[in-house]
Amino acid sequence: MTSKTHLAFASTAVGVTSVIEIPTPSPGPGEVMVNVAYSAVIPLDTYMTDYGRLIHGEYPVVLGFNLSGVVEAVGSGVDGLQTGYKVCAFATIPDDFITAFYTLFDCLELPPPMFTISALTSHAETPILVYGAGATSGQYAVQLLSLAGYRRDCNRSLGAAHDMAKKILLAAGESIQFVLDCISAEGMLKSISSIVNSNGIVAMLLPVTEGSRHIAGKDVNPFPDSVKLVGAKTLAQNEYLRDNLMPNILPRLLEEDIIQPNRVCLFDQGSFQDRCQGALDVVRNGQVNGEKNLVKVASM
Ligand SMILES: NC(=O)c1ccc[n+]([C@@H]2O[C@H](COP(=O)([O-])OP(=O)(O)OC[C@H]3O[C@@H](n4cnc5c(N)ncnc54)[C@H](OP(=O)(O)O)[C@@H]3O)[C@@H](O)[C@H]2O)c1
């Protein structure tokens, strides 16, 4: 630890956030210290601030682990990273892209993309429901399905929610075998259960919500026992993907314009507190509109 300090946006009690001054750590073995340029505010930040999730009563908790920046110091035993390298940590593209990838091709066990134009998949014509295709994770899921050779028009806006199940069934022409639910709203789960195949697979991004309330998934399972239900994980057990998807495959897909990141809403005006609070409020109030909310933390 050095005697240096820096400012951080933190949750200081349930529902309370503010900018605080904290000691700047020196990186330990296997660690690097990153000077943060941008940080994305994601739904998980609101679960932590507003519900105390993952905090276990130990305040303050610094927010903004979804970040990009420049390596400022390198601890012992670190290979492949040097001072001055631009890096991202659990940042918006990797987080949601990796989640979508694992959920589709690991949890739902769909054949993955081979990243070749001629690739055809065994489920090319199977209707697959991506509910919440406007969410960041949903946008990556739709792109990945298309890359993997799924031919059905899965990127369709079906309008208002009240007769959504009927509309989905009409569009699909048959009951749904595979579902990726990026929103996991309790009411919508019930609708989906009415159109899913009796031996279908449903992957949900957690937590399940009802309005602004979060509910344990097991308490709100409206599906028959024959339907396989999986709560999606960002990191899966597949060793090859764990070692290659984020560090190698994703950067190539972005460089070659094969995967498009979603739009960004940048909070770069006003004080640090204003920028962080503004971005958090947009996510907290459900005002996100297909964009990722990015806070400018520091000029590099
Ligand atoms: N490991 C994991 O399990 C994991 C990983 C990443 C994310 N997640 C979770 O997945 C969820 C989505 O995350 P994200 O980052 O993809 O979210 P996001 O980008 O912040 O999602 C916002 C979008 O969701 C859409 N949306 C909101 N409510 C909706 C509803 N009731 N029906 C349909 N669409 C709705 C809106 O699209 P329109 O603007 O088109 O209306 C909005 O633009 C969050 O709960 C997050 O915590 C879980």
Per residue in 63-99, pLDDT tens?
998 899 999 999 999 999 999 999 988 766 778 888 8
The answer to whether residues 230 and 218 touch, using CB atoms and an 8 Å cutoff, is no
Please give the number of the atom of ligand 1 that sits closest to the Cα of 157. 40
Cα distance between residue 255 and residue 251, in whole Å? 6
Pocket of ligand 1 (CB under 6 A): 42-44, 95-96, 99, 132, 134-137, 182-183, 185, 205-206, 232-234, 288-290
DSSP for 176-223, please give it. Answer: EEEEEESS-BHHHHHHHHTTEEEEEEEEEPSPEEETTEEE-GGGG--S
pLDDT of residue 206: 82
Cα distance between residue 265 and residue 242, in whole Å? 29
Cα distance between residue 177 and residue 232, in whole Å? 17
pLDDT of residue 216: 59
Domain ranges of the chain: 5-90+262-296, 95-231
Cα distance between residue 134 and residue 144, in whole Å? 14
pLDDT of residue 269: 97
Query: Taking the complete model, does pTM exceed 0.75, yes or no?
Result: yes
CATH second-level architecture of 5-90+262-296? Alpha-Beta Complex (3.90)
From 51, 96, 137, mutation site for ligand 1 pocket: most ligand atoms within 8 A of C-beta? 137
Cα distance between residue 223 and residue 243, in whole Å? 34
* Topology (CATH level 3) of domain 95-231: Rossmann fold (3.40.50)
Low-confidence residues of the chain, pLDDT below 50? 117
Biggest alpha carbon–alpha carbon distance for the chain? 65
